[in-house]
Amino acid sequence: MKPLSDTYVEETRLGFWFLRSHTWQHHVLRVAVNDLRSLFSEEPPSAPVILDAGCGQGKSFQYLHKTFTPTRLVGLDADPLSLQLSAEEARRQGIDIELIGSDCAELEVADASVDILFCHQTFHHLVQQDRALTEFYRVLKPGGYLLFAESTEAYIDTWVIRWLFRHPMHVQKSAAQYLEMIRDQGFEFEDRNVSYPYLWWSRSKDFGLLERLGLVKPKPVGQREETLVNVVARKPLQGLAQ
């Protein structure tokens, strides 16, 4: 495996602490999993094999387990300390988990072995995004699903986030660019499989305070710079999308 600095940018100490917080679990992870579940055009696979790519400290395990009832849940992360904390979290939750120390650009996972790949707020840390997406496609079964939830450049490239956290700024993308990247890889999705959450924590200028006070009206999709994008994208049943 290449040195971590060549493949992803690690969290700051503050970021690592934040990923253990109630705010992260309740207002970010829980909301994302619920939203992604609502974006399926049909019922998700029954008793799936789920890969949590970039599982961090394992706070997503409880939500994935409750929502999709997997027969096998695999957590993958390149950071040894995060994997240790993931194992502890799984024990606390009473969830059977397999943990793999691997980088997203070189997944140590068999071809076509995963029904659902969950990638939540991981991609903006990856330096080699194209390679990671190719790996996601490889390990998914034909007909399998990529559950992709990301912050966009409009959120990452703000003074608050740049001051508190650390990211590879040269690879950040807009919502449209992420969707184009996923489609170019061969994944299939329609408009109904995409959402653009405009959550308070993603709006670093005022955290939505002016809207909550009724001082400004919320802007609809298409008239604002999106801060988040969620998509449920499917690997075609046969070959690449044409």
State residue 241's pLDDT score. 43
Instruction: Look at 168 and 227; give whichever has higher pLDDT.
Output: 227
Residue 170 covered by a domain: yes
Instruction: Look at 161 and 60; give whichever has higher pLDDT.
Output: 60
How is residue 241 written in tokens?
Answer: 């999308």
Residue 240 covered by a domain: no
Altogether, the residues listed in the chain come to a count of 242
State residue 110's pLDDT score. 96
Tell me the CATH number at 61: 3.40.50.150
State residue 17's pLDDT score. 56
Cα-to-chain-centroid distance, residue 127: 15
Per-residue pLDDT band at 27 (split at 50, 70, 90):
confident
Other CB atoms within a 10 A radius of the CB of residue 72 amount to 15
State residue 161's pLDDT score. 58
Outline where the chain has alpha helix (H).
4-7, 13-18, 22, 30-38, 61-68, 80-93, 129-139, 153-156, 159-164, 175-185, 209-212
SS3 of residue 116 by DSSP: strand
Residue 157 covered by a domain: yes
* Tally of domains in the chain: 1
Residue 191 covered by a domain: yes
pLDDT in tens, 102-139: 889 999 999 999 999 999 988 877 889 999 999 999 99
What's the rounded Cα separation, in Å, for the pair 86 and 19?
A: 12
Given a cut of 70, whether residue 12 has pLDDT beyond it is no
How is residue 189 written in tokens?
Answer: 């999705």
Residue 153 covered by a domain: yes
What's the rounded Cα separation, in Å, for the pair 105 and 127?
A: 9
State residue 143's pLDDT score. 97
Given a cut of 90, whether residue 239 has pLDDT beyond it is no
Which range is least confidently modeled, 2-16, 103-117, 137-151, 211-225?
2-16
State residue 178's pLDDT score. 94
What's the rounded Cα separation, in Å, for the pair 11 and 78?
A: 12
State residue 209's pLDDT score. 52
Average pLDDT over residues 82-111: 94
What is the per-residue DSSP string for 30-82?
HHHHHHHHHT-SSPPPSS-EEEEET-TTSTTHHHHHHHH--SEEEEEES-HHH
Q: Which residues contact 99 (CB under 8 A, 6 or more apart)?
A: 55, 74, 75, 76, 77, 83, 86, 87
- Nearest by Cα to 116 from 233, 240, 206, 241: 233
Given a cut of 90, whether residue 165 has pLDDT beyond it is no
Residue 54 covered by a domain: yes
Q: Are 82 and 57 in contact (CB under 8 A)?
A: yes
Which range is least confidently modeled, 29-33, 199-203, 222-226?
199-203
Q: Please give the mean pLDDT across all residues of the chain.
A: 83
> What is the pTM (predicted TM-score) of this model?
0.84
Instruction: Identify residue 138 by its one-letter amino acid code.
Output: R
Residue 242 covered by a domain: no
- Parallel/antiparallel/unpaired status of strands 49-53 and 72-77: parallel
Q: Are 31 and 197 in contact (CB under 8 A)?
A: yes
Residue 145 covered by a domain: yes
Residue span of the structural domain in which 170 resides: 4-234
